[in-house]
Amino acid sequence: MNVISDWSVDDDRLLAVFTESATPSEPRTAAAVAAAVAADKRAIEDRLRTLVDDGELQTTVVSGTRVWWRPPATVGLHDTTRDQRLALTISDSLNHLFREITTAVFTQSTRSAIEQTLCSRLADSEFYTAAWLGEVELSSEEITSRAQAGVQEFKPTSDPEADPVAQLAAHTAVNANEPTVADDSCCHHLGENINRCVAIPLVHESTQYGVVGVGTDRPAAYGRDERAVLGELGMVAGHAIAASERQRALLNNERVELSFLVEDLFAHFDSVDPVDGRISYDRSVPIGDGGFLVYGTASGESFRSIKTLVDDGTVDRWESVTILDSSGDATRFELTFSDHPVLSTVTALGGRIHEATVEDGTLYIALRFAPNTDIQGAIDTIKTTYPGARLVKRSQAVSSDRSSDRFLEALSDRLTDRQSAALEAAYGAGFFNWPRDSSGEAVADSLGISPATFHQHLRKAQATLLELVFEHESTDR
């Protein structure tokens, strides 16, 4: 699929990327918007700036990366009754508060600063009196207070009978769906003059970062439109926290490593006989529609097991296998999956497969994630995919090469998904070897695109890679 020219994407289509539900979507990078509409990133950046000037979008910089978002829509005035005029005034003011708080939290560099800023700005506004932010341990529903403002000696507890606000906070964080208004009897825990309070989940993608309890003395507070704005604010704050946590993990080189063993991997496949040899994972490339290309090396007779599973159609998602190179005892191969839950989960969570081998019928797989990732979700996926899987190690690892991590992060930000797939597939398939293990036509066929489109994506990816290399080299001088 060719990249769409910059002006062939109209403004409505661009804005639709930011509106996936009744409320505006979370902030997005230019690369994400460009990928969504299949357009050039630099051209899209110019269009996004125009939409900011027109008041359609707002923008700021998060951890060195610029993001855009669409502010909540102002409620329309259908008639001139006093209540509706008041509702419109409050809605306008809430939208203004939303913009102020969004800018404030995105300018903070640490999670604690984001959390305190969120609470302080809410409590200091004309609409709210107090705000408290807590983190909930989902397994035990224990609540840890992380920030508060305007709160009168409030200390959270995990005992719902002793503290109804804790019950509300835990319930909201566990479900993480939408702001939940508390029963009026709960609110005195936040302050004497507070008669209404709401709990707002802080969520980004599949990760929960806690819940904010906000109190007010307005008897008619937290109507549908106000809850929509607060829900969007919770998403924005969750996004800001996620960005700061990723930046912290990058700077500190922290990684969570999960290691699993799956014994007798092929035991329930009658067509696969035990063979000697070792299968090693090299890399995987997402190719759209849930599919993946997996590159690896098989020694001894182990490649026979892979070919048998593909040829017999024993496993639905194993589509095809191609030998890239066979020399001596080793066979390099490309395996096409129509779907793979483990690879999909690892990709969605921003992790990577650090190592994966199959030897004597036993699978060993080590995964690495940033500390703020949904680790339990990754564990559950592995155990569902491989029922006999055992978690043999969970540890905190530290990357030894900080500059390499930063370089890869910068490259990922600059490449579109299609450019990244073309570059990685070409490398994995031996396109850059001499003589080549795979032709451009073969790599394009694996990606499901035309040779011309493949070469276009590859050239742009190579140009971006070289630009980054030389920029990196010049800054080191």
In the chain, domain spans:
1-70, 74-250, 254-400
Confidence label for 6 from pLDDT (cuts 50, 70 and 90): very low
Measure CA of the first residue to CA of the last residue in the chain; give whole Å: 40
Q: Does the N-terminal peptide bond of residue 435 adopt cis geometry, omega within 30 degrees of 0?
A: yes
Which has the higher per-residue pLDDT, 332 or 103?
332
pLDDT, tens digit, for every residue of 222-233? Answer: 888 888 888 888
From 48-52, 114-118, 199-203, 398-402, the region with the lowest mean pLDDT = 398-402
Name, in order, each residue with C-beta under 8 angstroms of 239's C-beta and a sequence gap of 6 or more. 26, 27, 62, 67, 204
The answer on pLDDT for 50 being more than 70 is yes
Question: Which pLDDT belongs to residue 332?
Answer: 96
Question: Which pLDDT belongs to residue 164?
Answer: 46
Which has the higher per-residue pLDDT, 177 or 193?
193
pLDDT above 90 coverage of the chain, percent:
23
The answer on pLDDT for 326 being more than 60 is yes
The answer on pLDDT for 330 being more than 80 is yes
Question: Which pLDDT belongs to residue 26?
Answer: 63
Q: Which fold has domain 74-250?
A: Beta-Lactamase (3.30.450)
Question: Which pLDDT belongs to residue 210?
Answer: 80
Question: Which pLDDT belongs to residue 73?
Answer: 54
Confidence label for 246 from pLDDT (cuts 50, 70 and 90): low
The answer on pLDDT for 275 being more than 80 is no
Q: Which fold has domain 1-70?
A: Arc Repressor Mutant, subunit A (1.10.10)
* Residue for token pair 């004597």: 360
How is 405-472 classified by DSSP, letter by letter? Answer: HHHHHHHHHHS-HHHHHHHHHHHHTTTTSSS-SS-HHHHHHHHTS-HHHHHHHHHHHHHHHHHHHHHH
Question: Which pLDDT belongs to residue 78?
Answer: 40
Tokens of 352: 């990577």
Summary mean pLDDT of the chain: 78
pTM, rounded to two decimals: 0.51
Tell me the C-alpha distance between 129 and 198, whole Å.
12
Mean pLDDT of 73-83: 44
Mean pLDDT of 397-407: 67
The answer on pLDDT for 169 being more than 70 is no
For 4, which DSSP code? B
Confidence label for 19 from pLDDT (cuts 50, 70 and 90): low
Question: Which pLDDT belongs to residue 162?
Answer: 47
Question: Which pLDDT belongs to residue 336?
Answer: 95
From 1-5, 69-73, 183-187, 260-264, the region with the lowest mean pLDDT = 1-5
Which has the higher per-residue pLDDT, 69 or 264?
264
pLDDT, tens digit, for every residue of 124-160? Answer: 988 888 888 887 654 445 667 788 888 765 454 444 4
Coil vs helix vs strand at 219 = coil
Which has the higher per-residue pLDDT, 444 or 240?
444
Coil vs helix vs strand at 11 = helix
The answer on pLDDT for 240 being more than 80 is yes
Contact criterion met (CB below 8 Å) for 242 and 105: no
Tell me the C-alpha distance between 62 and 236, whole Å.
11
Tokens of 58: 């707002």
Two domains, one topology: 1-70 and 74-250: no
Confidence label for 248 from pLDDT (cuts 50, 70 and 90): low
Which has the higher per-residue pLDDT, 234 or 81?
234
Let me know if 257 is exposed, middle or buried by CB neighbors in 10 A (0-12, 13-18, 19+). Answer: middle
